[in-house]
Amino acid sequence: MEISKTYESGKAEEKWYAHWMEKGYFKSVPDDREPYTVVIPPPNVTGVLHMGHMLNNTIQDVLVRRARMLGKNACWVPGTDHASIATEAKVVQKLRQEGIKKSDLTRDEFLKHAFEWKDKHGGIILEQLKKLGASCDWDRTNFTMDPEYSESVIDVFIDLFKKGKVYRGVRMVNWDPEALTALSDEEVIHKEVNSKLFYVRYKIAGSEDQWLTIATTRPETILGDTAICINPNDERFKNLHGKQAIVPIANRTIPIILDDYVDMEFGTGCLKVTPAHDTNDYELGKKHGIETIDIFHDNGTLNAHGMHYDGMDRFEVRKAIEKELYDKGYLVKTEDHINKIGFSERTNAVIEPKLSLQWFVDMKELSQPALDNVMNGNIRFHPEKFKNTYRHWMENIKDWCISRQLWWGHRIPAWYFGSGADEFVVSKTLEEAVKLATEKSGRAISADELRQDEDVLDTWFSSWLWPISVFNGLTDPGNKEITYYYPTNDLVTAPEIMFFWVARMIIAGYEYMDELPFKNVYYTGIVRDKLGRKMSKSLGNSPDPLDLITQYGADGVRMGILISSPAGNDLPFDSSQCEQGRNFTNKIWNAYRLVSSWEAKDIEQPKSSVVAIDWFESKFNKALLEINDLFDKFRISEALMAIYKLVWDDFCSWYLEMIKPGYEQPIDHKTLESTKNFFEQILKLMHPYMPFVSEELWHLIRERKEGEDIIVAAWPTVSVINEELLSQFEIAEEVITNIRNVRKQNNIASKVKMELLVKKNGELNTGFDAVIVKMGNLSLLEYRSEKVGNANSFLVRSNEYFIPFGEAVDLEAEQNKLQEELDYTKGFLVSVQKKLQNEKFMAGAPDQVVAMERKKEADALEKIAILEEKIGALKV
RNA sequence: GCUCGUUUAGCUCAGUUGGUUAGAGCAAUUGAUUUACAUUCAAUAGGCCGUAGGUUCGAGUCCUACAAUGAGCACCA
C-alpha cells in the first residue's frame, strides 16, 4: 500500500474523534479506580472559541489524557455559564433588530427568547472544542441555569441569608447606565483617561462679591452639590469657617464643612461635595449629615434635579454646562488632567457611582478558610507567585454586591409584602413565602400581595458552586458522584479570574463541602500577538483557531500553543509555532514510513543495532523519568520539549540512523521488533499532546484488537537506566561530530568512506565502535599505539583520533583549530589553578569540591600536553 | 501611591541547596541531498546573566539600592 508522504491531519482527526466517542472513552462513572477530576472553566454561552480557550483547554486535555493513561478514572466535566449581562445584552440587541423592545415584553416572554437564543448559540464553543480533540465527558455537560443547578444556587442564597451572610442594604454601588444594573467591584475596570479639571467659583452666601473656587472633573454634578468641604487646618480658608456657599446655576445655599479628608495641595483646596455621585463624598455626607440629591436617571441622563438639563445625557450636560458656567462668569479656568475612571467590564460604559438598595454577601468570615488553605499549601497555585496577589485581595476583601437588575439569571428568592426596608422574606417557594410573611408581619398575607424581587444574582454567584453543583453535591448531598469526584484535582484557568471565580470557588468549597474544591490551580498566561498585544476580537489580531486547525492540524496547533507557554507567563503566539508542530507530526509520520518499509529476514543482528537498542532503552527511560517529574511540577511546556527532543533527536536522528539497514536491504527480526516497541512507547508519550497522529500511527505500526487504542494504553513505566552506557554514547557522539567536522572542513562528501585511527591514552570503551563506523561512514576503525602523521586529528577525552589525509588538506586551518582549543584549555587551567592556589578556597571549600578541581587540573594538563605535541608535529 | 513578580543569546525560555569558562527550542549563517522526511540533514556563530554596590575562597544564583517592565490593589475632587 502506498503511504502518503505527509501526515493528513483532517481525515485522522475526524476518524479518531468519532471512534473515541463511539467507544465511550471520555465517559466516566465512579468505580474503584482513583478518580482524576477536572471541571472546565465554563465559557460564556455568548462566546466563540478564541486563542485563550485553545491554550486553556489544550492544557486540560493534556492533563486528562495523561491521567487516563496512568490508569486513573479521568473525568473532565464540560459546560457553559449563562453570563447574565453579556447574554441579556445580546438578546436585547437581537430583539431590537427584529423591532421588539425589551420593555414591551413580560419577563416570561423575554426569558423565552433568551432560552431560544441560548439553545441555538450556547453550545457553539463546546462543538469547537471537539475539533481540538478535547476529551470531555460530554454526557456531563452542565449549564449554570439547568434546573438542578439553579436550585442549588437558590438554596445557597437562602442558606447564607439564614446565616446572616447575605443582607440587603443601601450602598454606593457601581452602576452601569448602559446595562442598567449594579456591578461588583471586580467588574469595574479602571483606566487612565485624559480629562479636564474645571475651576468653578461659588459665591459666599451673604456676601456681595466674595467667592471660593473649587476644582472638579465632573461639572455636571454641580447641580447635586450639597456642601463645600475644606481642610480645618487650611489657613487660607479660615475666613470661610461657618459660612455657606451658593451653588452656581442651581442657586442653592449649601454649608461649608470642615474635614481633614480634603487634600490642601490638590486643586484649590476647596472640595465640592456630591454625596449621591461619589463614593468619598457619600462617606463625607454621612459623617456630616449632609443632604443627598440624586440628579441622574438610571440610564445616565439627568432627572428633574438637573433643571433645564432634564433628560440630557451626562456627557452632553458636561459640555453644555461648561458653556453655561463660562457665560455666567462662574468658570474660572480649565486644565488638562489625567485621572482614572471606572468602566464596565461588559458594556464598557463609564460607571456611575450610585446609591441603591442591593443584596450583598458579607465576605469577611466566609473567606478565612479560603485564605488559610491557599497560604498553607493545601491548595497549590502554579506558579506559586500568584499566592501573593491572592493573599492581598483576600486580606482586604469587601462585601460582594450580588444583585443585578436583569432578567436573565437566577431570580432572587426574596418576596416583598410592603415597602418598608424590612418587609420581605426569603424563601424557595411562594407557598413558603406566604407562610413566612404572615408570621413576620403578624397579619394574614395572601400570595397575591407578595411581589418577588425583580433582580437576578451575579453570574459568579452561580459559578462559584461549579465544582460542587456539576455533581449535584448540594441538591443531593452525599451522592455517589460528589463523594467520588470531589474534591477535583486540577483547575486550569486565567489569573484574570482569580478573584471573580477561583477565590470564590474555594470559599464555597469550604463553606458547603467543608473541603477544598481542587488541589492544584494552574494559571495560564494571556495569549498575545507578535507586537505583544493581547489577542482580542475588538483588535482583530487573533487568528481563527478553527482555521489554524485546518491549516496545521489539531495536533500541530496543540503543540504550537504549548511549546512556548510556561505557566503563568504570557504566550507570545505566532503561527510559525504551529508550523513547528505540524513539522513534528510529519516527522513522526515519516519515521513510521521508514520503519514500515523494512522487510524482516532471518539475518544476523548487527553489533551496532544491539548497542543502539541498549542505548535507546536507557535514553528513553531517563527521558521518561524527567518527563514524569516535569508533569508533577506542572511544567507542561518543558515536558513537551523533552518529548520533542527525545522523539526527533534521539529516536529519529540517532537511533533510527544507527539501526537503519542499507538501501533496499532487509532488517533482522530482533531489531525490527525492538524498534516497533520503542515506537509504541514514544507514541504513548506524545499522545497527551498529539492525540490524533499518535492514535493513527499506533494502529498502523501493529495490528490492533478491538479496544486496543492508545488513548487507553498504559503510560510507560521507568525501567533500566544504564548511566555508564549513556555516557559512553556521549563520547561516541562527540567522535562522530568530529568526523563530520573533518568531512566538512575538507569538503569530503558523506558518502566517501574514510579511515579512523585511534591512539588510546586513557580509558576508552569500544562498545560503540560499530556505531561510530556506521554513523561516520568509515571503512576502517583501528587502534594504534603511536601517533599517526599526515592526518586530520582531534581529541576526545584525552584520546587521539586520526583521519589520514586523502589528498590536499588545509594545514593552516588544522593548526588554527588546535591552537584555539589549546588557548581555551590554558585559560581554563588558569582559572582552576587560581582556585587551588587560594588558601581560603582550600580551607573553605568542601573536600569534594577540591577533589573535583584537582581532577580538572590534571585533565587540563594532560590535554594541553597532547595539544602542544600535535601542534609541534604539524609544524614539522 | 502601595504590594508582588520579571529582567540570562536576535526571539521565547531553562538554569535545583551558591561550586566546570552559562544551556535548550526557534530564528540566523555555512554546507549537504536520486536512499523516511526540503515540512529534511549536518555543522557554525551568537551572552559585562538589567545597572551599581555588598556578603563569600567562589555569585546568573544570596543581600541592598537604582532602573526598566508587567500584574494586582487603592485612589484627590
Per-residue pLDDT tens over the stretch A389-433: 899 899 889 999 999 999 999 999 999 999 888 999 999 999 999
pLDDT digits (tens, 9 = 90+) for A707-766: 999 999 999 999 989 999 999 999 999 999 999 988 888 888 888 888 999 998 877 888
Query: A540 pLDDT exceeds 70?
Result: yes
Helix (H/G/I), strand (E/B), else coil: A670: helix
Q: Which nucleotide is nearest to A733 (CA to C1')?
A: B42
A190 Cβ nearer than 7 Å to chain B strand: yes
- State the pLDDT at residue A394: 92
The C-alpha cell that represents A784 in the structure block: 594504534
Q: Is the CB of A813 under 7 A from strand B?
A: no
Q: What is the mean pLDDT of residues A792-809?
A: 80
**Who wins on pLDDT, A559 or A746?**
A559
Q: Are A142 and A150 in contact (CB under 8 A)?
A: no
What ipTM did this prediction achieve? 0.95
Closest CA to A261 of A225, A291, A286, A295: A286
Residues 658-697 of chain A in contact with strand B via CB under 7 angstroms? 660, 662-663
- Spanning CA of A841 to C1' of B57, the rounded length in angstroms is 3
- Nucleotides, chain B, CB distance < 7 Å: 3-6, 11-14, 19-21, 24-27, 31-44, 56-58, 71-77
Indicate whether A434 pLDDT > 90.
yes
A427 with A158: CB under 8 angstroms?
A: yes
Q: Which residue has the cell 442549588?
A: A152
Region A449-453 average pLDDT: 96
Nearest residue to A721 (alpha-carbon basis) of A627, A641, A624: A624
pLDDT tens digits for range A467-482: 999 999 999 999 999 9
Is a pLDDT exceeding 80 seen at residue A368?
A: yes
pLDDT over threshold 70, residue A622:
yes
Looking across all nucleic acid strands, the nucleotide with the smallest C1' to CA distance from residue A592 is B36
What pLDDT was estimated at residue A53? Answer: 92
- B12 C1' closest Cα residue: A564
pLDDT-derived band of residue A301, with 50, 70 and 90 as boundaries?
Answer: very high
Give me the A residues in range 98-137 that sit within 7 A (CB) of strand B: none
- Chain A residues 45-104 with Cβ under 7 Å of strand B are none
A839 CA: nearest nucleotide by C1': B57
Question: Does residue A626 lie within 7 Å of nucleic acid chain B, judged by its CB?
Answer: no
Check residue A655 and report its DSSP letter: I
Name the average pLDDT for chain A: 92
Q: Are the CB atoms for A685 and A642 separated by under 8 Å? A: no
All structural domains of chain A, each given as residue ranges with its CATH number in brackets, are 189-346 (3.90.740.10), 545-721 (1.10.730.10), 754-773+781-875 (1.10.287.380)
Q: How confident is the model at residue A1 (pLDDT cuts 50, 70, 90)?
A: low
Residue range A328-355: average pLDDT?
89
Q: Which of residues 499-558 of A touch strand B (CB under 7 A)?
A: 499
Instruction: Round and report the angstrom distance from CA (A824) to C1' (B46).
Output: 18
What's the confidence (pLDDT) of residue A37? 98
Q: Range with the lowest mean pLDDT among A422-426, A554-558, A835-839?
A: A835-839
Of A804, A800, A791, nearest to A874 by C-alpha is: A791
Q: How far is CA A210 from the centre of its chain?
A: 60
Instruction: Please state whether strand B lies within 7 Å of residue A416 at its CB atom.
Output: no
A601 CA vs B10 C1’ separation (Å)? 51
In angstroms, how far is B68 C1' from A192 CA?
Answer: 21
Asked if residue A398 keeps its beta carbon closer than 7 A to nucleic acid strand B, the reply is yes
A573-577, A614-618, A844-848: least confidently modelled range: A844-848
What pLDDT is attached to residue A810? 63
pLDDT at residue A79 is higher than 80: yes
**Triad A571, A574, A575: Cα angle to 5°:** 130
Three cell numbers at A497?
Answer: 479570574
